[in-house]
């Protein structure tokens, strides 16, 4: 009985002695080496990269896979680590998973929280970092509020990156005590909870301001802040005899090695 013909061992053409199996193996190697493979619209890697959430089993990410050495989360179970400041009828309090800053119903009422870490520089411009916090306001009028990274506790001198709400108008800002740059951000209802982010890269220096997962402002030139012991700040100040409140539900921070 004659040996059966194995089609994979046949030459792929009369003028090409490469076998079909060899041609298939060559095509597979080329596909595996292609950095653009599966990145087309609707293909697996493109979908994995752009989906809002990629689900993996709980506990499946090993600690050594995190790119950043310092990771800090806070749900304000206590304000013991925070410096708290108030004037007039301003108050502050910790609640379940949140902190509330209140001005009281007096013009000039002020309330603020600031933390200065022990053992590392709070605002370190040589390191890339990421900050995120979720918050909302009780009102949009007759108030000023600053929140972000660096020094802003007195609402006069500024050194850092942050957001400000002045009578319901939102800005991203960057300051170095001497120079102060702002960019207005529109279409945000400040009386509803939103997630605010600050993303900074050190080389080249770029700071981005994201709200609810969308990039809304950035600075890539100008007077970037100085390093500062002051770390995370939240302030609210009333300019009318009416109660104003800032509700903060969390903050998350990570910094490169």
Q: Looking at the domain assignment, is residue 59 inside a domain?
A: no
| Whether residue 208 sits in one domain with residue 115 | yes
Residue 170 belongs to domain with CATH number: 2.60.120.200
* Confidence (pTM): 0.76
Instruction: Give residue 149's pLDDT.
Output: 96
Which parts of the chain have pLDDT scores under 50? 1-2
| Whether residue 122 sits in one domain with residue 27 | no
| Whether residue 227 sits in one domain with residue 177 | yes
Q: Looking at the domain assignment, is residue 60 inside a domain?
A: no
Write the pLDDT tens digit of every residue in 15-62: 788 888 888 888 888 888 888 788 788 777 777 777 766 677 766 666
Residues 168, 141 contacting (CB under 8 angstroms): yes
| Whether residue 107 sits in one domain with residue 19 | no
| Whether residue 149 sits in one domain with residue 195 | yes
| Whether residue 125 sits in one domain with residue 251 | yes
| Whether residue 228 sits in one domain with residue 169 | yes
Domain interval for residue 90: 68-256
Instruction: Determine the straight-line distance between the first and last CA of the chain, rounded to whole angstroms.
Output: 70
| Whether residue 249 sits in one domain with residue 139 | yes
Instruction: Give residue 1's pLDDT.
Output: 43
| Whether residue 177 sits in one domain with residue 138 | yes
Would you tell me how many other CB atoms lie within 10 Å of the CB of residue 185?
16
Q: Looking at the domain assignment, is residue 115 inside a domain?
A: yes
Residue 70 C-beta-side C-alpha neighbours within 13 Å: 17
| Whether residue 100 sits in one domain with residue 14 | no
| Whether residue 122 sits in one domain with residue 45 | no
Instruction: Give residue 157's pLDDT.
Output: 83
Q: Tell me the backbone φ, ψ of residue 105, rounded to 5 degrees.
A: -90, 45
Q: Looking at the domain assignment, is residue 216 inside a domain?
A: yes
Q: Looking at the domain assignment, is residue 63 inside a domain?
A: no
Cα separation, 170 vs 143, in Å, equals: 12
Instruction: Give residue 66's pLDDT.
Output: 57
């Amino acid at each position: 009985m004659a040996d059966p013909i194995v089609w994979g061992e046949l030459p792929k053409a009369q003028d090409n002695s490469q076998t079909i199996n060899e041609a298939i193996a060559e095509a597979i190697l080329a596909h595996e080496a292609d950095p653009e493979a599966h990145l087309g619209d609707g293909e697996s890697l493109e979908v994995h990269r752009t989906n809002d959430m990629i689900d993996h089993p709980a506990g499946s990410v090993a600690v050594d896979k995190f790119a950043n050495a310092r990771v800090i989360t806070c749900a304000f179970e206590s304000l013991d680590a925070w410096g708290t400041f108030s004037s007039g009828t301003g108050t502050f309090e910790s609640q379940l998973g949140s902190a509330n800053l209140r001005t009281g119903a007096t013009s000039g009422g002020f309330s603020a929280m600031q933390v200065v870490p022990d053992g590392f520089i709070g605002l370190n411009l040589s390191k890339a970092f990421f900050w995120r916090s979720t918050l909302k306001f009780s009102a949009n009028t007759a108030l000023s509020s600053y929140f972000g990274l660096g020094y802003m506790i007195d609402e006069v001198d500024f050194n850092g990156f942050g957001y400000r709400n002045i009578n319901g108008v939102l800005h991203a800002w960057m300051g170095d005590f001497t120079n102060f740059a702002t960019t207005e951000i529109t279409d945000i209802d400040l009386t509803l909870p939103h997630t605010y982010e600050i993303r900074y890269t050190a080389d080249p220096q770029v700071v981005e301001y994201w709200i609810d997962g969308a990039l809304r402002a950035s600075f890539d030139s100008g007077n970037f802040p100085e390093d500062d012991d002051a770390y995370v700040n939240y302030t609210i100040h009333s300019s009318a005899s009416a109660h104003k409140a800032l509700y903060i539900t969390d903050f998350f921070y990570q910094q490169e090695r």
